[in-house]
Amino acid sequence: MMMIKPIRILFTNWVDVDNFNAQSLNVREIACRLDSERFLSTLFYAKEPDPRLVHLPHVRLIKIPRRLGTIRVLVECVKGHDIMFSPPLNRIGYLYFRIPEFLRKRTTTIQWIEADIAVHLKDVSHSIKKIFDATYNRRDFYVATTEYVAERAAIDYGIHASQVICTGVDSDVFYPPESRTSSPLRVLFVGHLIERKGPQWVLKAASICRDLKFVLVGEKRGEFYKKLLRMVEDERLNNVTFLQPMSQFLLAKLMAESHILLHPALVESPGKVIMEAAATGLPAIIFSQYRSPAVVDGVTGFQVDDFEEMIARLKLLSNNDNLRRDMGEAAVAYMRQFDWKFIVKEWEKVFERVLTEKRGNRLAFN
């Protein structure tokens, strides 16, 4: 009986255990769940990899040294992997696409467009923007996280996603507690402490709703974090706590101890933390502009048009235990369709389909 070789996939995100970047977390969820008989995944790490990946027979982990690390990664990139997943927007990605095509032609590149490209490019350096301009339209296939993200990519850059696949939720980690105390009420925010994510609006909400406790979890970045601290001091916000990024297990515990997710980002993909919070039974309040599928308005939370409506919905939820409970239960039920075990099955179909299409095109050309 002829053995079928597994599809070899190179994931270019670093998968260290202390890397809480959403893209890194997402590729780990995909790699560890792919069918071990049909797929072989290669991933990089710098110091200590996510322990879930270490002993999996279908996962190959490569430690990248600080010295000559770029060369080591590039060597791996041209080893003939069947698929490279989301080539990085950095020097490595730039150099990869400058390698002669005959060294790259066996590998199919798939880009998962995880958010509104134009908005995210506002926060990156000039050099990253140049790399984007030089390489982003050279991927073979594109997949978007939401219909909105796909629409923006097509309108802004002429990039057309062939499919939409949402991010997922690990239901073994994010699940509702047996009971949730009703006092004191805790409003949770999770995200980088940068202007685009909207932590300043959380602090404004804290200045209005002083009977609520507000917890902000996120990486503290430079001058903007100092601005947030000044807001706390000027407004004397004794009801605000900042926490550093944490592991998925600790975050799930914190969500289980909270009551409402306030996520006033002006743009998102579906919103990974919104989905994780929903899986633990938290109703969320988000802005409606990016049409996230993570919140069903009026059922699992609220999608609002402006800050005034956000405050009104926050007061409604905080003053109504039954509404929070009903929305939380609806959110848990709604999130079941986004369990990673279902999302990864969609990716398996994509990986097999794009290789079939590319090989078919190659045969037709020859």
Question: Tokens in use for 292?
Answer: 């996230």
Question: Tokens in use for 257?
Answer: 């101890």
* pLDDT in the model for residue 3: 54
Question: Residue 363 pLDDT more than 80?
Answer: no
Q: For the chain, what percent of residues have pLDDT higher than 90?
A: 85
* pLDDT in the model for residue 153: 96
Instruction: Provide the 8-state DSSP code for 111.
Output: E
Between CA 73 and CA 94 the distance in angstroms is 12
Domain covering 186-338 assigned CATH 1.25.40.10 in the classification:
no
Question: Tokens in use for 177?
Answer: 């507690």
Q: Which of 80, 143, 145 is nearest to 354 (CA)?
A: 143
Neighbours of 171 (CB within 10 A): 16
**At the topology level of CATH, where does 7-168+340-357 sit?**
Rossmann fold (3.40.50)
Q: Which of 5, 63, 9 is nearest to 344 (CA)?
A: 9
Judge contact between 214 and 243, C-beta under 8 A: no
Surface-to-core class of residue 110, CB atoms within 10 Å of its CB (0-12 exposed, 13-18 middle, 19+ buried): buried
User: What digits encode the pLDDT tens for the residues 69-103?
Assistant: 999 999 999 998 999 999 999 999 999 999 998 88
User: What digits encode the pLDDT tens for the residues 259-304?
Assistant: 999 999 988 888 899 999 999 999 999 999 999 999 999 999 999 9
Query: What distances in angstroms separate CA 39 from CA 98, 111, 112, 365, one per listed residue?
Result: 27, 18, 18, 27
Band the pLDDT of 180: cuts 50, 70, 90.
Answer: confident
User: What digits encode the pLDDT tens for the residues 225-243?
Assistant: 999 999 999 999 999 999 9
Phi, psi of 292 (to 5 degrees): -65, 135
Residue extents of the structural domains in the chain: 7-168+340-357, 186-338
Band the pLDDT of 66: cuts 50, 70, 90.
Answer: confident
Helix, strand, coil percentages in the chain from 3-state DSSP, rounded to 5: 45, 20, 35
* pLDDT in the model for residue 1: 43
Mean pLDDT of the chain: 93
**Identical fold at 7-168+340-357 and 186-338?**
yes
Q: Name all contacts of 227-230 with Cβ < 8 Å and 24+ positions apart.
A: 227/200, 228/193, 228/199, 228/200, 228/203
Angle at 352 between CA 28 and CA 159, to 5 degrees: 80
In DSSP notation, 266-327 reads: S--SS-HHHHHHHHTT--EEEESTT--TT--BTTTEEEESSHHHHHHHHHHHHT-HHHHHHH
Sign of CA dihedral 131, 132, 138, 144: positive
Question: Residue 4 pLDDT more than 80?
Answer: no
User: What digits encode the pLDDT tens for the residues 110-123?
Assistant: 999 998 999 889 88
